[in-house]
Amino acid sequence: MAAPRWVLACTLSDLAEQGAVALTLEHARVALFWHEGRPYAISNVCNHKGGPLAEGRVRGEYVLCPWHAWEYSVKTGKGPPGYDEETVPTYAVEVRGGEVWVNLEPATPRRKLEHPPHPLARKVQHEHHERPRVLGISTTAMDGDNPRFSASDHLLEHALEHARTDLGADTQLQRLRELSFRPCEGNYSKAARACTWPCAITERDPADQLTPVYEGIVHWADVVLIATPIRWGAPSSLYFKMIERMNCIQNQVTIAGRSLIERKVAAFIIMGGQDNIQSVAGQMLMFFGELGFQFPPFPFIAHSRGWDAEDMHRNVQAVQASASLRAGARELVARAIETSRHLHDPGHFERGGRKAGARARPE
């Protein structure tokens, strides 16, 4: 048994006043808690991703890690019932006069259970697919029980149909409105390493339904086609809800030096009753560029009737009647597939045109 190594940690009054104190004592990272009128000490390093337990919220005898809410007893270092094989070290504590002393030889050890990796965590293959894979993501919000015509969905579905039937592609369509998924917890703002791949919400909450979107974007697709309406001069609210959850893809570049997205292509369909196309396109290009996506020549098609177009029912008619917008959607997906092929085989490139898409013209 190792010899005790007692060190002065803090004053009793400081701990009682603050409730929890984080200390590094001779390289040991210790979380001291004031609980039920006495001090307790456990490791300040969470078993999951190293979150600082002293900053967590205490519920009963359990402290919730501030990063992703794993729980540990401040008395025993054990997880709650059912998870009590998962433990962080505990340290003996003594009160001497008005001081708190800690024995840095752990009284109980750290035990990390093997957790099977989430399926998304598998190695990313940046390989070429003989049949190009095109993932469409619809971001328009809609009541599924009472659907309406969506200009952005209309063109997205048309592009996917063309990719499937004329360009030999495999296609998938994910409609965000049909997926129940939680908003981003902003883990990145707590600490860069708190924002994990796969997303901590995805790992913890089997009911969260963003997994097929992650799967499609990171593992499956060669081309991602994102369709959005313009809402108050910006992409849709569901678009933003989705991309906030994609911080965990982007931050792998900054914290782990690896890009999950390589040699993939993104392109955009932007449909607005009113204006701000360039701003919406700029935002989408910036974000998907930051994820590591490449873009085809002329990476979006868009349509808007302008700021003073208050007669939105006419916009629907214009889009439904427009052969040129449908041609634009077909050409966009063709350019995106072409660019994808070129990224895997730089010798392969054909010039794609951009004849249509700027204006809705009746057939």
Residues that bind ligand FES (CB under 6 A): 46, 48-51, 65, 67-70
Minimal distance, residue 126 CB to ligand FES, in Å: 28
The number of angstroms, rounded, from the C-alpha of 220 to the middle of its chain's C-alpha atoms is 16
End-to-end CA gap in the chain: 86
The residue among 88 and 217 lying less far from ligand FES, judged by its C-beta, is 88
Quick one: 52 or 132, whose CB is closer to ligand FES?
52
State the nearest-atom distance from the C-beta of 67 to ligand FES, in Å: 4
Give the C-alpha separation, 224 to 284, whole Å.
Answer: 12
- Min dist CB 69 to ligand FES, Å, is 6
The CB-of-65 to ligand FES minimum distance in angstroms stands at 3
3-state secondary structure of 257: coil
Decide whether 67 or 287 has the Cβ nearer to ligand FES. Answer: 67
Element (H, E) at 100: strand 99-103
Q: Which is nearer to ligand FES, 70 or 188 (CB)?
A: 70
Q: Which is nearer to ligand FES, 200 or 336 (CB)?
A: 200
**Angstrom distance (rounded) from CA 267 to CA 223:** 8
Min dist CB 50 to ligand FES, Å, is 6
Does residue 207 sit in helix, strand or coil? Answer: coil
How far is residue 177's CA from residue 145's CA, in Å, rounded to a whole number?
Answer: 11
- CA dist list (Å): 179 to 159, 176, 216: 22, 5, 14
Q: Are 180 and 207 in contact (CB under 8 A)?
A: yes
Question: Minimum Å distance from CB 68 to ligand FES?
Answer: 3
Q: Is 291:258 a contact under the CB 8 Å cutoff? A: no
Minimum CB separation of residue 197 from ligand FES in Å reads 13
**CB-count exposure of residue 100 (10 Å: 0-12, 13-18, 19+):** buried
CB nearer ligand FES, residue 50 or residue 352: 50
Q: What are phi and psi of 216, to 5 degrees?
A: -65, -45
Conformational region of residue 83, where left means phi above 0, alpha means psi within -120 to 50, and beta covers everything else: alpha
